[in-house]
Amino acid sequence: MSATPDRQHRMTPSDILARKGQAPIACLTAYTTPMARLVDAHCDLVLVGDSLGMVLHGLPSTVGVTMEMMILHGKAVARGIERACLVVDMPFGSYEESPQQAMHNAARLMSETGCQAVKLEGGLHMAETVAFLVARGIPVMGHVGLTPQAVNTLGGYKVQGRGEDGARIEAEAAALAEAGAFAVVLEKLPQSLGARITGAIPVPTIGIGAGPECDGQVLVVDDMLGLFGDFRPKFVRRYAELGDSASDAIAAYAEDVRARRFPGPEHVFADQVARK
């Protein structure tokens, strides 16, 4: 299978599922229409992650993200998507109480944003909810390993699945696949564990700090573009340093304003249009 995106076909969750063991799945987050257009041109899957709480809103974690925030940014991203499969995160507190609560909020996300699937965090304890949603027409992407919404119980953003704990995460990923998830995000796991899970479950794994053997990879777009300050997780490769470039540009603008070099003659309007 060619790794070049087919611009004539809108990717669906079923297409992502069919990529298991095929060409690796390229995925990035997006939170705005302009960024969505850039990502859509090259990626197979665009994720409106609840990481927007930290990246765009300055929150200390994803726990404070609301349904309204996810819907607002989901709508914005949907306006910029033509080809990629669009997935929106379900925020903390919107699905954990019961399958019925999850159904209500997942249906709201899909109907109000136009996304094709939702993502939720958790393994064995969420399998029933995943099965409930899938049976009712809601495609679901799972997420195991480091689950940021559970950071307070995990004790921080540390690597998961080392030692005997690896068997638990393998079982969680398997349970999500069996429940009907079309893909499972593996976050911050030892490479060997990411490879084992990828080989063991019949749906694609999307790695973020889980090794190159995963069926696909996802990063927060602001991280890989160097837009999110000095935050440099080990699993992120920075493909640009746009934050530095933006800082230099803003400094140059402020200097030009103070020196009255901007606006220049080419940026102002004359009193009258010159006659020919």
Q: Which are the catalytic amino acids?
A: 187
Alpha-carbon separation of residue 216 from 28, 109, 211, 232 (angstroms): 10, 24, 10, 21
121 is in an annotated binding site: yes
Q: Where are the beta strands (DSSP E) in 174-273?
A: 183-187, 205-208, 216-219
Burial 200-232, CB ≥16 within 10 A → b, else e: ebebbbbbbbbbebbbbbbbbbbbbbbbbeeee
Number of H helices, E strands in the chain: 11, 8
For the CA atoms of 144, 194, 43, 137, the dihedral, rounded to the nearest 10 degrees, stands at: -40
Q: What is the per-residue DSSP string for 54-98? A: HHTT--SSSTT--HHHHHHHHHHHHTT-SSSEEEEEPPTTSSSS-
75 is in an annotated binding site: no
119 is in an annotated binding site: yes
112 is in an annotated binding site: no
Task: Round to whole Å and give the CA distance between 86 and 106.
Answer: 14
51 is in an annotated binding site: yes
List the binding residues: 50-51, 89, 119, 121
* Known binding residues for Mg(2+): 50, 89, 121
